[in-house]
Amino acid sequence: MNSYFLSNFYNYLLNNDFFKIENNFSNNNIYFKNIGSNGYIVAPIFKSEENYENYFNTLEQNCRLFLKKHNLSKMFIFKILISDNFLEEDINFLNCELNLDDNTVNIVWGVDLLNKKIITKANQPTKFLDIEKYITMSMNNNLSNVRESLKPKNYILSKNTYITYSLIFILILVHMIINMSFDKSYVIYNYGVSPNLLEDKQFYRLITFLFLHSGVTHLLSNILSLYIFGTRIEKYLGKLAFCLIFLIGGLSSGIFSVLFTKSYSIGASGAIFALESATLYFSIKEKIKLDGLDYYTIAIFSIIGILASFTDSSIDNAGHIGGFIMGIIICYIYYKTMYKKYKNNL
């Protein structure tokens, strides 16, 4: 039972973004993951193996060094004592105060293998980061359930991102053709979003303005953002989601620009803001990193982008905000309806 429990528990940790780290003070396995600026250490030990109090004290000292070395703001240390016979001194050890003000936070649990339960004492959380689920499932003798839960999660819906790259190529091509063959002002005033677009019923402008850019800097900044967020949306939500978010987010951006800016506007940035907000929503919903980008980083990108819109009078603030809002709405609807069906059919 003991080896079976630990084997399953380690597998659950590995399958949920923890990885084993080397240590020089014990033969026991230690697992680590980080979310944003916080680190999480999980250290299970059988009561009978060694002096667990010394082991955990040494572990905590090493965690403080690890925290400084990797520039983390806080480290959560899961001290998990495993036994089928807890004595009074063991229960006293588990009765540990939870100090959230310290940069290393001790979470001390006991695992009673005989009665298949987790022992938590005063001020200790009973649930944290799904660790309690991994412990409970690891004590379950149903091997089929264990194997099923350990199946890797397949988040990737599209093995290639050629639509994003094709769109980048089109944006570059259109910009080159306009610069070589047309007067830029003529193109902007005839194909950009205009204040009287709705009255004149020139709805085609809500599409054409997305492919026009004022200069190389404007184009390159949009291409970079399109690459960062477009490839992730296409890869993780699929090509249909990418097209819907970009086009409807772009339309929303143009409409917001007409209603609130009252000036001519061009550029794909509103549609790209829609892709950015959709990426943020999906990463929060699934609680995963998208090719190295976690939702903290994406949120910082978003905040900086929105705030930057207000620092330059030539930037279309309303268009950016309209695209950002619509990206979340479309991703929410798509996630609730088509995404899960599409994913289950793979």
State the Cα–Cα distance between residues 72 and 175, nearest whole angstrom: 44
**How far, in Å, CA of 253 to CA of 321, rounded?**
7
Show the tokens assigned to 303.
């905040």
Tell me the pLDDT band of 141, cut-offs 50, 70 and 90. low
CA distances to 59, 83, 84, 243 from 46, in Å: 15, 6, 9, 53
For the segment 39-67, what is each residue's pLDDT rounded down to a tens digit? 999 999 888 776 888 888 888 888 888 88
Topology of domain 162-344, CATH: Rhomboid-like fold (1.20.1540)
**pTM, rounded to two decimals:** 0.59
Residues 6+ apart with CB under 8 A from 292: none
Q: What is the mean pLDDT of residues 199-214?
A: 93
Instruction: Please give the average per-residue pLDDT across 116-129, as a whole number.
Output: 86
Structural domain boundaries in the chain: 2-149, 162-344
* Rg for the chain, CA atoms, rounded: 27
* Strand-pair category, 30-35 with 19-21: antiparallel
Residue 148, pLDDT score: 47
Supply angle C-alpha 177, 178, 184, rounded to 5.
Answer: 170
The pLDDT, as a whole number, for residue 150 is: 44
- Contact present, 261 and 255 (Cβ < 8 Å): no
Residue 305 and residue 317 in contact, taking contact as beta carbons nearer than 8 Å: no
Residue owning tokens 């200790």: 124
